[in-house]
Amino acid sequence: MAVYTEITDDELAAFVSAYDIGRIVSFKGIAEGVENSNYLLQTDRANYILTIYEKRVAERDLPFFLGLMDHLADRSFPCPTPIHDRDGDALRRLAGKPAAVVSFLEGISIRRPTADHCAQLGATLAQLHLAGSDFTLKRDNALSVHSWRPLFEGSHKEADSLEPGLGAHVAQELTDIEQHWPTDLPHGVIHADLFPDNVLFLENRLSGFIDFYFACNDFYVYDLAVCLNAWCFEPDGSFNITKARAMLTAYRRQRAITPAELAALPLLARGAALRFLLTRLHDWLNQVPGALVRPKDPLEYWRKLQFHRGVTGPSAYGLE
Amino acid sequence: MAVYTEITDDELAAFVSAYDIGRIVSFKGIAEGVENSNYLLQTDRANYILTIYEKRVAERDLPFFLGLMDHLADRSFPCPTPIHDRDGDALRRLAGKPAAVVSFLEGISIRRPTADHCAQLGATLAQLHLAGSDFTLKRDNALSVHSWRPLFEGSHKEADSLEPGLGAHVAQELTDIEQHWPTDLPHGVIHADLFPDNVLFLENRLSGFIDFYFACNDFYVYDLAVCLNAWCFEPDGSFNITKARAMLTAYRRQRAITPAELAALPLLARGAALRFLLTRLHDWLNQVPGALVRPKDPLEYWRKLQFHRGVTGPSAYGLE
């Protein structure tokens, strides 16, 4: 949730006139996206999302993100399509910051996904991995295993303020995950942030993925690990094996999961839990007074991590 | 800017199905309205605004607000029209709170109004006063002169933290305004919060007023006083007499301003400045850590108040 940038009337008019998208009918800041300022821009032709990239998104990464959406949309993958201006550019500047316009995707995000939603998620995630496999730009996962220790060092001491002993437990877990992190799994473009917020459904049919601003090159199965954590736990913290089975089974109907990927899944799920635990911990301990964003509970991800530590094989995820 | 309430999938589906407005295509929290949670609801038929009333709006006032919008829309005044459910009710409940759906008004709010925008504002404000004159429900202005002393008493001591001496100056001003506040000016339904945020323009033609949640019965000229403050000062704090003249002249072409109203305008403008000074001061001194709203500068309104104290007659506002 974020609308950080003030835009003057003249700036907005000049910006929109650089595109062949019609005349402005409405322009409203929307409560979506923690990293950027997002606006719903309605013209007399269509609806668009206008995004202003705030400082948490590196400007050098924008050609990757916008190029990826272009690439995926070309392959009929359901995602926002960058709108190019009259000169052919998808990236412009607005109010002194990088900005882009993308097509508006219909659909609503689901707060309480069912097993059917999870199945659709799995199938579409496999399609994403396949459609992205020939995308030529590369972007390392800046929030993968190598980043976790530096991230943790900033919050180690204060972690115990959330739960006594948390700091030491996380340190041990981090060391263990670092030592066992795989190096040679199938990899390519992943979304890396597929929370229910970022998946739209129209009448319970998946209509698209949004918010590609964490997309990067990493193990495909890491995306599945993120989704296991974000989609397959109930509000009471319990793991829903039916949802996991639905998601993974639908995924592998589109793209085979190799035995090595399957064997690595519990560890990657712990890693994915640790990644969100650490960024949430950082945001929790660095709250800005008056900030527009309410931080999320880091301990939710510590509890998810515990679950995966107890997993001994794929049957825990509903697979043989 | 506010989206406070979490709505589950089932709650939303059940709520929308109570209306004959089609099927949900999109649902996004929008960064508008400080008092309520607002969502842009798109269906396969039209766009709507869904509002959930948070605790700062008294539930007993909702029939007045919704009834007023109904009344005005019936008279072709450009404002959102409440959508009635299949039982004919405009007020329902969602996520345990009062909620309503209104029609979506096209247009964008102007950050830097020109004299022409101010003229259109003045003309439309007069139309509002005329169209509301036969509305039968009543609501006292809870933020008029009687409320200012209790409001100030909560912030008197801390006011000096903003500017040394501010507390004593405001106290003196408050006493002066209370003593001279008029009792017998023409009155009726006013908007009471007509900031540029709440006025939409489509291609520079005024398309409507929104956010009627401060509307009440009070002196008509108090609405003009609020608008003088909100529309006719430049970002550097200077008063733009051309804009004031444009606004007031256009207003009185539609509804005559009486000599008594004209004489009272400088005092009412001071009062209107004091009202926003005091509520901003209260919000400034009562910031909630992690709140979603960034407080506005109270001193901006103290400086506006100073200007009106120096006004000796209508010529300062561009009128003979």
Q: Give the model confidence (pLDDT) of A82-141 as tens digits.
A: 999 999 999 999 999 999 999 999 999 999 999 999 999 999 999 999 999 999 999 999
Q: Are A158 and A248 members of one domain?
A: yes
Q: Are B73 and B40 members of one domain?
A: yes
Mutation site, A12, A23, A111, A294, interface B, largest B CB count within 10 A: A111
User: How far is B232 from B240, CA to CA, in rounded Å?
Assistant: 5
Nearest to A290 among B25, B107, B294 (CB): B294
Instruction: Report chain B residues whose CB lies below 8 A from the CB of A112.
Output: 8-10
Confidence band for A288, pLDDT divided at 50, 70 and 90: low
Q: Are A93 and A163 members of one domain?
A: no
Which of A225-239, A277-291, A294-308, B239-253 has the weakest average pLDDT? A277-291
- Amino acid identity, position B78: P
What pLDDT score does A292 carry?
A: 52
Summarised one tens digit per residue, pLDDT across range A27-82 is 999 987 667 889 999 999 999 999 999 877 889 999 999 999 999 999 999 999 99
B2 assigned to some structural domain: no
Asked whether this complex has an ipTM greater than 0.90, the answer is: no
A108 assigned to some structural domain: no
Other residues' Cβ atoms within 10 Å of the Cβ of residue B124: 22
Domain boundary among A71, A103, A135: A103
Task: Taking residues A221-239, report their average pLDDT.
Answer: 97
In chain B, % of residues over pLDDT 90:
82
Q: Domain limits at A135?
A: 115-317
Count Cβ atoms within 10 A of the Cβ of residue A30 and give its class: 0-12 exposed, 13-18 middle, 19 or more buried: buried
Segment 151-210 of chain A within 8 Å of chain B by CB: 202-203
Q: Alpha carbon of B318 to those of A158, A271, B228, B267: distances in Å?
A: 61, 68, 12, 16
Closest residue by Cα to residue A272 from A246, A294, A301: A301
Q: Are A211 and A303 members of one domain?
A: yes
Helices marked H in B2-92:
9-17, 62-74
Q: How many alpha carbons lie under 13 Å from residue B256 in its C-beta half-sphere?
A: 3
Q: Is A60 on the interface with B (CB under 8 A)?
A: no
C-beta separation of A280 from A296 below 8 A: yes
Q: Are B88 and B196 members of one domain?
A: no
B40 assigned to some structural domain: yes
Closest residue in B to A44 (Cα–Cα): B106
Q: Are A224 and A273 members of one domain?
A: yes
What's the farthest any 2 CA atoms get from each other in chain B?
Answer: 61
**Residue A266 Cα, gap to closest chain B Cα (Å):** 30
Closest residue by Cα to residue B196 from B291, B259, B117, B94: B117
Check which CATH number belongs to the domain holding B80 and give it: 3.30.200.20
C-beta separation of B81 from B7 below 8 A: no
What pLDDT score does B288 carry?
A: 63
Nearest to A28 among B8, B32, B287 (CB): B32
Q: Are A80 and A226 members of one domain?
A: no
Domain boundary among B103, B138, B161: B103
Nearest to B108 among A6, A27, A292 (CB): A27
Check which CATH number belongs to the domain holding B200 and give it: 3.90.1200.10
pLDDT over 60 at A1, yes or no: no
Instruction: Report chain B residues whose CB lies below 8 A from the CB of A295.
Output: 290
Q: Do B29 and A31 touch (CB under 8 A)?
A: yes
Task: Taking residues A281-304, report their average pLDDT.
Answer: 78
Q: Are A91 and A24 members of one domain?
A: yes
C-beta separation of A210 from A201 below 8 A: no
Domain boundary among A83, A103, A123: A103
Q: Which uninterrupted H or E stretch holds B77?
A: none
B1 assigned to some structural domain: no
B265 assigned to some structural domain: yes
**Residue B112 Cα, gap to closest chain A Cα (Å):** 7
Q: Are A137 and A89 members of one domain?
A: no
C-beta separation of B157 from B167 below 8 A: yes
3-state DSSP assignment of residue B266: helix
Confidence band for B1, pLDDT divided at 50, 70 and 90: very low
Q: Do B30 and A28 touch (CB under 8 A)?
A: yes
Mean pLDDT, rounded, of chain B: 93
A189 assigned to some structural domain: yes
Confidence band for A320, pLDDT divided at 50, 70 and 90: confident
pLDDT over 90 at A162, yes or no: no
Q: Are B238 and B269 members of one domain?
A: yes
Q: Is A95 on the interface with B (CB under 8 A)?
A: no
Summarised one tens digit per residue, pLDDT across range A6-25 is 888 999 999 999 999 999 99
Task: Taking residues B279-291, report their average pLDDT.
Answer: 75
What pLDDT score does A55 carry?
A: 79
Q: Do A8 and B112 touch (CB under 8 A)?
A: yes
Q: CB within 8 A of A316, min separation 6: which ones?
A: A239, A241, A266, A310
Q: Do B111 and A29 touch (CB under 8 A)?
A: no
Which of A1-10, B49-58, B134-143, B259-268 has the weakest average pLDDT? A1-10
Q: Do A26 and B107 touch (CB under 8 A)?
A: yes
User: How far is B320 from B309, CA to CA, in rounded Å?
Assistant: 19
Q: Is A295 on the interface with B (CB under 8 A)?
A: yes
User: How far is A157 from B153, CA to CA, in rounded Å?
Assistant: 43
Task: Name the residue with tokens 């929370």.
Answer: A195
Task: Taking residues B218-226, report their average pLDDT.
Answer: 98
Summarised one tens digit per residue, pLDDT across range B15-59 is 999 999 999 999 999 987 667 889 999 999 999 999 999 877 889
E-assigned strand segments in B104-157: 108-109
Segment 105-134 of chain A within 8 Å of chain B by CB: 106-108, 110-112
Q: Are B186 and B289 members of one domain?
A: yes
**Residue A285 Cα, gap to closest chain B Cα (Å):** 12
Q: Do B26 and A1 touch (CB under 8 A)?
A: no
**Residue A90 Cα, gap to closest chain B Cα (Å):** 24
Q: Do A28 and B27 touch (CB under 8 A)?
A: no
Q: Are A119 and A264 members of one domain?
A: yes
Q: Do A289 and B287 touch (CB under 8 A)?
A: yes
Summarised one tens digit per residue, pLDDT across range A187-219 is 999 999 999 999 999 999 999 999 999 999 999
Closest residue in B to A37 (Cα–Cα): B31
Higher-confidence residue of A11 and B285: namely A11
Mutation site, B15, B26, B207, B288, interface A, largest A CB count within 10 A: B26
Confidence band for A4, pLDDT divided at 50, 70 and 90: low
What pLDDT score does A35 carry?
A: 74
Q: What is the DSSP code string of A5-69?
A: ----HHHHHHHHHTSSS--EEEEEEBS--SSEEEEEEEESS-EEEEEEE-TTS-GGGHHHHHHHH
User: How many domains does chain A fold into?
Assistant: 2
What pLDDT score does B293 carry?
A: 55
E-assigned strand segments in B19-123: 24-29, 36-43, 47-53, 92-94, 97-103, 108-109
Confidence band for A293, pLDDT divided at 50, 70 and 90: low
Other residues' Cβ atoms within 10 Å of the Cβ of residue A202: 17
Confidence band for A243, pLDDT divided at 50, 70 and 90: very high
